[in-house]
Amino acid sequence: MSTQTLSQSTPVERPEVKEKYDHFIGGKWVAPTSGEYFDNISPIDGKPFTKAARGNKKDVELALDAAHEAFNTWSKTSPAERSKLLNKIADVIEDNLEMLARIETVDNGKALRETRAADLPLVIDHFRYFAGVIRADESTISEHDENTVSIALHEPLGVVAQIIPWNFPLLMATWKIAPALAAGCCTIVKPAEQTPTSIMVLMELIGDILPPGVLNVITGFGPEAGKPLASSKRVAKVSFTGETTTGRLIMQYASENLVPVTMELGGKSPNIFMKSVADADDEYFDKAVEGAVLFALNQGEVCTCPSRILVHEDIYDVFMEKVIERTKAIKMGHPLAEDTMMGAQSSNDQLEKIMSYLDIGKKEGAQVLCGGDKAGLNSGLEEGYYVQPTIFKGHNKMRVFQEEIFGPVTSVTTFKTTEEAIEIANDTMYGLGAGLWSRDAHELYQVPRAIKAGRVWVNCYHAYPAHAPFGGYKKSGFGRENHLMMLDHYRQTKNMLISYDKNKLGFF
């Protein structure tokens, strides 16, 4: 590993943070019952920058008390009122976008360029989307015969638990919070241990918009705070984004309590480049090259990271030459510098795990086309968690082709026929995302239909707009986010079956 001297713009200032953050319960800041806090380490430099409350079962119970009390009134709030409050939250976030983008970068390590242009704008739009859809949402009614009417009315589930991952701390929290509140549920949110701060800074801004107890946030460690929350018989639903073993554990608790769950559990997404991609060296070809390099977005810490590139063998040379060139041009550096293109991995154990995969990839005989090591950065970043964007070449049975590395690592292989491309694409445990790039109108429809994944990007990748349902097939989980169908993940149906007939049945 060589150390790289940084030549880049001066990092912007870090936002001021408090020395420590309490839980947000019942509309108030509440110190952890244990009195304990834990260090939050910034991936930028590996140094603690604030502390978070170390929650436990008692804290979870306090939050459940507050949420259950709030549900009595929140569940009866009109959609117009809930919509107004969600819009207000969006407005406040928009007014504070720059500060929130910076704190998100400090907390998670991703480049400011991305938090400014993607994370925060999507957060804002997501709240507005759910503020909008509940104004147009309707229940159903059917007339079974001239005297019998069935009304199927939506009712909120109750108090829900939402466990948030660390890769897009504010955005993933929003994906869960916005539909739950829109549906009339109260929620207890547990952010990840690696990124417990940005959401608390957000709560300082929006905490008083909602009635006390509607939105509660508890920080702490999975076994101490996450487990009592996910296993509580006082929650009506658990929504989880994370990995398969914890997903199964949460379903195990849910089976004991007989409550529903939704799971988003990762992927190993194929990004398929058909032969026609290289028919011309034009804007579209350039777009496709960028589409392959998007594996480095968010340092590869995305469940849908296009971590397998499948390229037609006839265009491998011309296409991959450009992909490698573009990958090598990715500017790494201080995540708060405006010209940094790729920042730090979120924690030391992530860095170590990625390194272990670079190791097994090489041992299995995969060829390193670029990258392949830590990125040694100086100027105060020596202790931060930086990895070079890496491309392996190999075959689909290698472990680097099958396991979610959750780093800036992709693996390329070739195919000869469309059938082979589909076979390789589907040879995985997962089915979350996929990409299909082609100039052929028939392939544009037929290939995505043959791929077993919940989201297939066609001639694009890594777009996550509200209004497009997102979720997994196979071992990538179930349930959808980002869409009005989410409302039904947080509601149940009250059926009123009404007789307007004055006459008795005549049975008794």
Give me the residues that bind other proteins (CB under 8 A), please. Answer: 41, 165-167, 192-194, 221-224, 226-227, 230, 241-249, 252, 264-267, 301, 303, 347-353, 356-357, 359-360, 363-364, 397, 399, 402-406, 429-430, 475-476
CB atoms within 10 A of CB 172: 25
Give the nearer residue to other proteins in terms of CB position, either 142 or 245: 245
Which of 405, 354, 401, 392 minimizes the C-alpha distance to 375? 354
Give residue 308's identity as a one-letter amino acid code. Answer: R
> Does 256 participate in catalysis according to the annotation?
no
Least distance to other proteins, CB of residue 448, Å:
22
CA–CA dist 144, 22 (Å, integer)? 54
| Residue 192 or 236 with smaller CB distance to other proteins | 192
* Under 8 Å between Cβ of 258 and 292: no
Nearest-approach distance from CB 83 to other proteins, in angstroms: 31
Question: What is the β-pairing status of strands 23-25 and 28-30?
Answer: antiparallel
Residue 418, C-beta contacts closer than 8 angstroms, at least 6 positions apart: 274, 443, 447
In whole angstroms, how close is the CB of 43 to other proteins at the nearest point? 11
Give the H/E segment covering residue 91: helix 79-95
Catalytic residue among 104, 114, 193, 264: 264
Among residues 278 and 425, whose Cβ is nearest to other proteins? 425
> Which CB atom, from 96 or from 345, has the smaller least distance to other proteins?
345
- CA angle 225-217-488, nearest 5°? 100
- Sign of the torsion formed by the C-alpha atoms of 182, 183, 186 and 189: negative
Q: Which is nearer to other proteins, 365 or 465 (CB)?
A: 365
For residue 222, the minimal CB distance to other proteins (Å) is 4
Beta carbon of residue 107, minimum distance to other proteins (angstroms, whole number): 13
Residue ranges of alpha helices (H) inside 329-452 are 348-363, 399-402, 418-426, 441-450
- For other proteins, give the closer residue by CB, 158 or 270: 270
End-to-end CA distance of the chain: 87
Please, are residues 315 and 429 in contact by the beta-carbon 8 Å criterion?
no
Please name the amino acid found at residue 217.
V
155 in helix, strand or coil? strand
Rounded Cα gap, residues 386 and 144, in angstroms: 64
Min. distance of Cβ 169 from other proteins in angstroms? 11
In the residue annotation, 303 being an active-site residue is answered as yes
Spell 54-93 as b/e; 16+ CB within 10 A means b.
bbbbebbebbbbbbebbbeebbebebeebbebbbebbebb
Q: Residue 300 Cβ, how far from other proteins at the closest point, in Å?
A: 12
- Rounded Cα–Cα distance for residues 116 and 124 (Å): 12
Closest CB 478 distance from other proteins, rounded Å: 13
Q: Which of 52, 47, 110 minimizes the C-alpha distance to 348?
A: 47
Contacts of 371 (CB under 8 A, 6+ apart): 327, 387, 388, 389, 390, 391, 408, 409
Closer Cβ to other proteins, 32 or 165, answer by number: 165
Q: Given 114, 303, 305, 443, which residue is catalytic?
A: 303
Considering the complex, state which of residue 249 and residue 341 has its C-beta at the smaller distance from other proteins. 249
- Catalytic positions are 264, 303
